[in-house]
Amino acid sequence: MIDYSSIEKKWQAEWEKARIFEPEPSDKKPFMVTAAFPYVNTALHIGHLRTYGTADALARYKRMRGYNVLYPMGFHATGTPILAFAKRIQKGDSELIRELKIFHIPDDEIKKMVTPEYIAEYFVKTVEKDMRTSGLSVDWRRKLVSIEPIFGKFIEWQFKILNEKGYLTKGKHPVGWCPNENNAVGMHDTQHDVEPEIEEETAIKFKVDGEDASFICSTYRPETLDGVTNIFVNEGSTYVLCRMDGENFYVSKSAANILSYQRGVEVSRELPGKELLSKKAINPFNNEVVPVFPGYFVKESLGTGVVMSVPAHAPFDYAAIERLKASGYNTGEIRYKRIIDVQIGRSLSDVSVGEAKPVHVDLPSLAYLEVLHTDVNAIDDMLEFATKLQYREESHWGKMLVKGYEGMSEPEAREKIKKQMVDSGKAIMIYIVQNAPVKCRCGYDVVVKIVDNQWFLNYGDPKWKEMVRQNFEQMRILPPKARNGFAAAIDWIDLRAVARSQGLGTRLPVDKSVIIESLSDSTIYPAFYTIISLIRNVDVEKLRPEFFDYVYLGKGGVDEVAKTTGIEYETIKRCRDSFAYWYQETSRHSGPDLIFNHLTMYMFNHTAIFDKAYWPKQIVVNGMVMSEGEKMSKSLGNIIPLVDGAERIGIDPLRIVETTSADLLSDSEYSESSVNGVKERLEYLKSVIDNIAGYESGEFKHIDYWLYSKINRKIERATAAMDALELRDYATDVLYNSIIELKRYFDRGGSNGTVLREYLQNVALMLQPVAPHISEELHHSLGNEGFAALEKWPIPDSSMISEKVESEEELVTASLDDIKRAWELVTKKSPDKRPSRVSLVVASDWKRRAHGELAKSKDVGKTIASLRADGVSPEAAAKYVGKIAKEMNRLREVSTTEEDEFKALGEAKGYLEKALGAEVAVEMESKSKSARAERAAPLKPSIEIIF
């Protein structure tokens, strides 16, 4: 058994002692690998190995390919999560404590986690330890934490530049807001961690006839305005007349309160809903005067509490009006007006619609109730269903009938009408919490507030976008299929709020009252790794913008900067050199969840700040890790802390399973069985190496050449796979196929120590990227000195790759297979017959020529003629060529000769006899008298089973 734990500890200590992962600029080609730094609210679990292990695999591979490789690491602590974390600990939150216990965090440590600073300190320590346990080839001298003052200086400089370039702007922005605590709330601040989903609604002003006031109706479908027949209010609710933006409005009392966070609202007086029923309203779209009805379904707390009624296109509206009529309410004459044309029920299958045919196609909402086998008295859930169906079909396939918008699709008309109404002052946009009620941790309902002094980064800036697109074209995205996602993200990203009033982090230089939001302060930090270890001893206050200007932008001169900042000349110069060196070639790694935020912001900020030469070169996105078919999560309790995994399973097997068991972008699957499979294979490799001394060298046999061919082909393929970071393909070749090949080699009597040693030496080295410890151990077991981690990546010897040798080996396998099949069929049908001997006949060389010629000429006649000219009998030539002509387009040249095949099968005779338990004879067709000999084809000898 391999003792992973002690092997890992041993090599980690050796690497550390030799400081082999602490690179400095040199004349070698640089390669810098960075992975998204972890947020410090948890220890690592085995799933984290996916991203960090993939990045490490690339780092180690590139190192072996002769690059000077830098793989630095830092820690993210800015933002609100550890603030909330500290509060929860203060309150003794049992759920959180239970989660921490999964990671074996001792009680006395948990007790101390009442300040975010301590939490950060604790997890920085823990995660670094976890990463060291993982055997990552990280240069720990460059460690940084995003809440360090030194980091703050760097961020301040970054935002100073962004501001100077005009990318920092100020404006209005809707946010989730707690009216009680008076601050913005995000997901981390709500009960059950619910994200308040903010949605925009159009609120249409319906002037009250004869009054200086309007109803204001919120709606998702302003395009249906032309179909409004009346206004609905809840007659049992309290309404107010209020003043907003210099106009008077009727809204529900609770709506007035909610709206007051978005606009200035002054309540003039309260009134019961009933009082509104006597009023008339003017539709701003078509100036029709419409009445006000009581709507049983109107909720005062939703939107404005006043609803415009479009009965032809809203089942609720239609049902409410019909029920009013039925109850004897005087509605006056209602003229239902169809404004969207669509094939009703088209998305439903015939089965669910059954016999129901929409009769009232001029009144779509009724027609929708009809296809659903119901009517105006349906329960609310049914009406809700009909509403959704109608809305979906109309917006998907509907064509507008409204004058001026004829034939338009609904979404297009919606945007046009919305814009027209808002621009002409007939409507305003309001925001609602779409998934209301969302409760703040303090217990109050979250509302939407429009913050008007919000700072944004204007990622929508066309010139900026253009720069990013330009760089993106040059960039390498791995895997290539993630490329479309990035292109979409670059197009989509727009204004992004960059400041918050709370949380840990750096204050915005242009407005010290706010803190830079935590994703925005971690976009160009990889550049900071290149210099941080050089300025650790510099007084933080000396890190003035002039310093960074020189280091990152080459502005000014070293003397000048040394004078203004007081930093030593040599330090400044080394920083500039270090940045300019390492940033030539970079690779950024993360999970796919960061494509639409961090990774895109990474591209934008780099292009905004740095010179072209230092723009991003490569981004790698990898999938996540699933555990036994389920997503790993603390609440499911299926998290395996990294320390446990290292101890119970071993880091190398874990790294192999997680980084190589799926496509780069697909989620990989951790399971006991997959880990065991990997371990068995590693054990097998080790056992062969442990016994290597027992194999003597000698003259090479066919199977030795075969193994040479295999190893060199393997190197070729593994190298190509690593270049594309296709770790799954790489591992299939290097690990899984190696086992199969070795077993076959021994099966076929292979026993040459020289060949085996070379094979294993290469396999051991090629395991280095994903299984660095085992690789190191095997490398040394083979008697090598020096670190595998620093060895040259194997180079294939293409002269040893032989199509012919491999074909011959396949010939043996395929023949054995065919013999078994035929054998079985014969003995099944005649159980009393006992075959005693098998005779194989390999095909004459003229048949090989036939293949080659036919493949080239595609001409049956010509091929036959050419064979006859060579002295082949006309009958045999015609018969054979006729047979192979059927698969003319699949024919290939054959690399073996009759002689080759004869020899190969001859050498394998012993093997075949053992496998079959019968005598085997091999003949050449040109010399055979067997009746079945003519059936022989290249690489497919004829078989005769003799009884």
Partner RNA sequence: GCAGGGGUGGCAGAGCCUGGCCAAAUGCGACGGGCUUAGGACCCGUUUCCUUUAGUGGAUGCAAGAGUUCAAAUCUCUUCCCCUGCACCA
Task: Report 68-97 residues binding RNA (CB under 7 A).
Answer: 76, 78-81
Nearest distance from C-beta of residue 739 to RNA, angstroms: 9
503-532: which residues touch RNA (CB under 7 A)?
Answer: 503, 517-519
User: 494 or 690, CB closer to RNA?
Assistant: 494
User: 22 or 128, CB closer to RNA?
Assistant: 128
Segment near RNA (CB under 7 A); pick from 470-478, 580-588, 761-769, 938-946: 938-946
Nearest distance from C-beta of residue 503 to RNA, angstroms: 5
How buried is 287 (Cβ within 10 angstroms: 0-12 exposed, 13-18 middle, 19+ buried)?
Answer: exposed
User: 769 or 941, CB closer to RNA?
Assistant: 941
Are 898 and 842 in contact by the 8 Å Cβ rule? The answer is yes
Q: Which of 412, 494, 541, 630 binds RNA (CB under 7 A)?
A: 494
Nearest distance from C-beta of residue 537 to RNA, angstroms: 28
Nearest distance from C-beta of residue 777 to RNA, angstroms: 23
User: 395 or 605, CB closer to RNA?
Assistant: 395
User: 297 or 684, CB closer to RNA?
Assistant: 684
622-681: which residues touch RNA (CB under 7 A)?
Answer: 662-663, 666-667, 669, 673-674, 677, 680
Inter-CA distances, 478 with 89, 411, 486, 663, Å: 41, 36, 11, 11
444-463: which residues touch RNA (CB under 7 A)?
Answer: 459
User: 189 or 658, CB closer to RNA?
Assistant: 189
Q: Which of 29, 101, 172, 481 binds RNA (CB under 7 A)?
A: 481
Nearest distance from C-beta of residue 367 to RNA, angstroms: 18
Inter-CA distances, 455 with 165, 171, 509, 725, Å: 15, 7, 12, 39
List Cβ neighbours of 342 (8 Å cut-off, separation of 6 or more): 364, 393, 394, 397, 398, 399
Q: Compute how many other C-beta atoms are within 10 angstroms of the C-beta atom of residue 899.
A: 12
Segment near RNA (CB under 7 A); pick from 481-489, 571-579, 764-772, 803-811: 481-489
Are 944 and 838 in contact by the 8 Å Cβ rule? The answer is yes
Nearest distance from C-beta of residue 505 to RNA, angstroms: 9
Nearest distance from C-beta of residue 581 to RNA, angstroms: 30
The distance from CA 80 to its chain's CA centroid, rounded to whole angstroms, is 25
Binding of RNA at residue 469 (CB under 7 A)? no
917-936: which residues touch RNA (CB under 7 A)?
Answer: 932, 935
Q: Which of 495, 553, 885, 921 binds RNA (CB under 7 A)?
A: 495
Nearest distance from C-beta of residue 180 to RNA, angstroms: 16
User: 306 or 742, CB closer to RNA?
Assistant: 742
Binding of RNA at residue 683 (CB under 7 A)? no
List Cβ neighbours of 543 (8 Å cut-off, separation of 6 or more): 150, 153, 154, 535, 565, 567
User: 305 or 591, CB closer to RNA?
Assistant: 591
Nearest distance from C-beta of residue 826 to RNA, angstroms: 5
User: What is the rounded distance in angstroms from the CA atom of residue 129 to the CA atom of residue 134?
Assistant: 9
Q: Compute how many other C-beta atoms are within 10 angstroms of the C-beta atom of residue 422.
A: 16
Residue whose token pair is 């409204």: 402
User: 243 or 744, CB closer to RNA?
Assistant: 744
Are 828 and 909 in contact by the 8 Å Cβ rule? The answer is no
Helix or strand holding residue 202 (H, E): strand 198-208
User: What is the rounded distance in angstroms from the CA atom of residue 883 to the CA atom of residue 847?
Assistant: 11
Nearest distance from C-beta of residue 402 to RNA, angstroms: 20
User: What is the rounded distance in angstroms from the CA atom of residue 550 to the CA atom of residue 572?
Assistant: 8
Are 198 and 412 in contact by the 8 Å Cβ rule? The answer is no
User: What is the rounded distance in angstroms from the CA atom of residue 222 to the CA atom of residue 225?
Assistant: 5
339-398: which residues touch RNA (CB under 7 A)?
Answer: 347, 392, 395-396
Supply φ then ψ for residue 903, to 5 degrees. -65, -40
Q: Pattern 816-855, binding to RNA, x per CB under 7 A?
A: -xx-xxx--xx--xx-------------------------
Nearest distance from C-beta of residue 749 to RNA, angstroms: 16
SS (H, E, C) 341-389: ECCCCCCCCHHHHCCCCCCCCCCHHHHHHHHCCCCCCCCHHHHHHHHHH
Nearest distance from C-beta of residue 509 to RNA, angstroms: 18
User: 46 or 120, CB closer to RNA?
Assistant: 120
Nearest distance from C-beta of residue 822 to RNA, angstroms: 3
Nearest distance from C-beta of residue 522 to RNA, angstroms: 8
Binding of RNA at residue 537 (CB under 7 A)? no
408-447: which residues touch RNA (CB under 7 A)?
Answer: 411
Are 555 and 109 in contact by the 8 Å Cβ rule? The answer is no
Inter-CA distances, 677 with 323, 366, 522, Å: 69, 62, 39
Q: Is the peptide bond before 411 cis (omega within 30 degrees of 0)?
A: no
User: 411 or 557, CB closer to RNA?
Assistant: 411
Segment near RNA (CB under 7 A); pick from 47-55, 65-73, 236-244, 478-486: 478-486
Q: Exposure pattern of 579-599 as b/e (b: 16+ CB <10 Å)?
A: bbbbbebbbbbbbbebbeebb
The count of residues interacting with RNA (CB under 7 A) is 78
Q: Which of 198, 401, 450, 885 binds RNA (CB under 7 A)?
A: 198
Segment near RNA (CB under 7 A); pick from 6-14, 271-279, 485-493, 774-782: 485-493
SS (H, E, C) 446-478: CEEEEEEEEEEEECCCHHHHHHHHHHHHHCEEE
Are 835 and 919 in contact by the 8 Å Cβ rule? The answer is no
Segment near RNA (CB under 7 A); pick from 1-9, 247-255, 496-504, 793-801: 496-504
Binding of RNA at residue 282 (CB under 7 A)? no
DSSP 445: B
Q: Is the peptide bond before 196 cis (omega within 30 degrees of 0)?
A: no
Nearest distance from C-beta of residue 357 to RNA, angstroms: 20
Segment near RNA (CB under 7 A); pick from 293-301, 318-326, 717-725, 815-823: 815-823
User: What is the rounded distance in angstroms from the CA atom of residue 373 to the CA atom of residue 353?
Assistant: 8
In this structure, which amino acid lies at residue 161? Answer: I
Q: Compute how many other C-beta atoms are within 10 angstroms of the C-beta atom of residue 354.
A: 11
164-193: which residues touch RNA (CB under 7 A)?
Answer: 173, 175-176, 184-189
Q: Pattern 724-763, binding to RNA, x per CB under 7 A?
A: ------------x---------------------------
Inter-CA distances, 50 with 103, 109, 740, 793, 943, Å: 19, 28, 26, 23, 51
DSSP 539: -
Nearest distance from C-beta of residue 688 to RNA, angstroms: 15
Nearest distance from C-beta of residue 256 to RNA, angstroms: 24
Nearest distance from C-beta of residue 199 to RNA, angstroms: 8
Q: Which of 11, 15, 21, 39 binds RNA (CB under 7 A)?
A: 39
Are 734 and 718 in contact by the 8 Å Cβ rule? The answer is yes
Q: Compute how many other C-beta atoms are within 10 angstroms of the C-beta atom of residue 693.
A: 10
Binding of RNA at residue 808 (CB under 7 A)? no
User: 12 or 54, CB closer to RNA?
Assistant: 54
Q: Which two tokens stand for residue 632?
A: 């790993």
Q: Which two tokens stand for residue 46?
A: 């085995």
Binding of RNA at residue 916 (CB under 7 A)? no
573-612: which residues touch RNA (CB under 7 A)?
Answer: 592-594, 596-598
User: 584 or 895, CB closer to RNA?
Assistant: 895
